[in-house]
């Protein structure tokens, strides 16, 4: 239910979040449990459950999110690159079912994308 979706609640202002960026269609906010010195997420304000459910109608806002990632990462303290992650569904271990692009970085190089083994 969109009513119960935690990220929709953040969009509606029902749950506080440390916002990084906002416009009519996109919201960026810091992850509550950061795993790197810079860790924020970009979401479409409109509820899309996951990338697996995204349709052609969502291409515009998802494209805008990708284009914003670099600008916001530079502003947020990761000028020399960053990592984007979109966990999807059970296999991707997606916890919050409102599509979100994690943007990870900071002053130091990150570890390997997924530990091999
Ligand atoms: P996922 O595993 O679905 O890709 O990532 C969900 C992310 O949302 C996690 O990194 C988690 O820390 C973050 N998160 C969960 N609940 C909240 C919340 O209420 N506020 C914020 N800012 N982040 C949250
Ligand atoms: Zn939602």
The protein residues having their C-beta less than 5 angstroms from ligand 2 (an ion) are 5, 7-8, 47, 98
* CB of residue 95 inside a 6 A radius of ligand 1: yes
Provide the H-helix boundaries in 1-117.
Answer: 6-12, 59-75
pLDDT digits (tens, 9 = 90+) for 8-54: 999 999 999 999 999 999 999 999 999 999 999 999 999 999 999 99
Q: What is the structure's pLDDT at 1?
A: 62
Q: What is the structure's pLDDT at 116?
A: 77
Q: What is the structure's pLDDT at 2?
A: 81
Among 102, 116, 109, CA closest to 30: 102
Average pLDDT value for the chain: 96
- CB proximity list for 84: less than 8 A, separation 6 or greater: 66, 69, 101, 102, 103, 104
Catalytic annotation present for 102: no
What distances in angstroms separate CA 55 from CA 3, 26, 27, 61, one per listed residue? 21, 17, 19, 11
Among 45, 29, 47, 37, CA closest to 83: 37
pTM (whole model) above 0.85 = yes
């Amino acid at each position: 239910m969109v009513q119960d979706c935690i990220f929709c609640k953040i969009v509606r202002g029902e749950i506080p979040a440390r916002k990084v960026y906002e416009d009519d269609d996109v919201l960026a906010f810091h992850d509550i449990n950061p795993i790197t010195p810079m860790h924020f997420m970009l979401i479409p304000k409109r509820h899309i459950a996951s990338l697996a459910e995204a349709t052609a109608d969502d291409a515009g806002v998802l494209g805008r999110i990708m284009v914003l990632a670099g600008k916001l990462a530079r502003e947020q303290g990761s000028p020399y690159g960053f990592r984007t992650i979109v966990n999807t569904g059970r296999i991707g271990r997606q916890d919050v079912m409102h599509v979100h692009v994690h943007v990870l970085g900071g002053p130091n190089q990150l570890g390997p994308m997924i530990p091999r083994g």
